[in-house]
Amino acid sequence: MKMSVKQKTNVMGMRKLGYILVFATSLTMILSCGQRKGEKAPVSAGADETEIVWPLGFATDTLQVDTLKVRDGQTLSKLFTGLGLSDKAAYDLVQASDSIFPAKALRSGRDCFAYTADTLGLRYLVYEKDRVNSVVFRCFPPYGAWNVEKEVVVERKYSDVTINSSLWVDMREAGASPLLILSLSDVYAWTVDFFGLQKGDRFRVVYDERTVDSEVLDIDTIRVAQFIRDTDTLACYMFNQGDGGNIYWNEKGESMRKAFLKAPLHFSRISSGFSYARKHPVTRRVQPHTGVDYAAPKGTPVMSIGDGTVLSAKYEGAGGNTVRIRHNSVYTTAYLHLSGFGKGIRAGARVSQSQVIGYVGSTGRSTGPHLDFRVWKNGSPINPLKMQSPPAEPLRSEFRPQFDSLKLELNRLFDTNIVK
């Protein structure tokens, strides 16, 4: 049967349309199979639609895993060859991974996880840089590496602790992390003497805690806290006015930060107080002790209580390794019996508040590790525990309405014991 020109044109057009549809379908199938690195694999029809996501970037269910630590002096290449790679394979892997993890970044004592297959040997090595970040090495061609980061969960918490024996023990019994104690001591460093806490003292605090794998990583932020002694309450509120300075304020909008820290080291105990008639533990003679002794383990960091200039950092006989700092025309401090000096601490060096200037030791005339801390006002020794310190700059007036509003909101958390 003969077709007209019009009919032939229609048939040819249909054929072209068919070719286009076939090509488009084929192209779609090709593109759908070209999975990019890091994407989830498509699920075939009829299969379980639950997609498997491998946190490390590779399937671990068919591999064996062994835990090891990087040894002192071990190089990245030696780490790989010790796990069965040839010298050439180790070299190629180190080169291929250099942009992600330079070989010199390897640190002894860090945990590694070697994933192996029965017949193929080492397939992947996971090196933990810290509790959150790791690097994964692909130990077969094409060699390479990539970074992985564990999920960090931030949870707002509330803690209410009354001192019965010690802040450390009571905080632990209340289920709070010991890291909260350090954070509280930082916030209240200028206003609360943590070495003079009394039975019945109470801390209430709302804070954000960061966890990894259900273990506490750190205390992210203390939002609001109260220190209560008898009928007196010292509250502090976190409010950032964006100037890079202080972020904690009292009820009146005054800075919690003072010109001087309350103590030159973190949580410890007072082993000997300020006295003009103390029996010396070594000589057994009664003589003045114009300072405060803080008992602490050897190596505990010692901080400057304020900004100032180092007058001297040297061995001083009975005082052992001693750092002396002039803070202004009125106050001078000294830190005795140190095991060593902080980095850059020498006569003439400028130091800032909380800067580590040395480490607890037992040099000089001493019966054990402790810090002998001394303060002079206008050249005369004073009791460090009774020293008054002026506050830093108050909250700027333009932020006062925002601060007052936030303060009411945070106080409601205490009133209702509801933490959001």
Q: What pLDDT sits at residue 329? A: 73
Task: Name residues whose C-beta falls within 8 Å of residue 410's C-beta, 6 or more positions apart in sequence.
Answer: 206, 223, 224, 237
Q: What pLDDT sits at residue 249? A: 93
Task: Show the domains of the chain with their CATH numbers.
Answer: 64-149 (3.10.450.350), 153-249 (3.10.450.350), 269-386 (2.70.70.10)
Find out whether 340 and 299 touch, Cβ atoms under 8 Å.
no
Q: What pLDDT sits at residue 223? A: 93
Q: Which residues pair with 155 in a beta bridge?
A: 209
Q: What pLDDT sits at residue 209? A: 93
Q: What pLDDT sits at residue 50? A: 57
Distance CA 138, CA 122 (A): 9
pLDDT below 50 — which residues of the chain? 1-47, 420
Q: How many CA atoms lie within 13 A of 119 on its CB side?
A: 0
Distance CA 52, CA 65 (A): 19
Segment 195-250, tens digit of pLDDT: 778 899 999 999 999 999 888 898 989 999 999 999 999 999 999 988 776 789 99
Give percent of the chain above pLDDT 70: 81
Q: What pLDDT sits at residue 257? A: 79
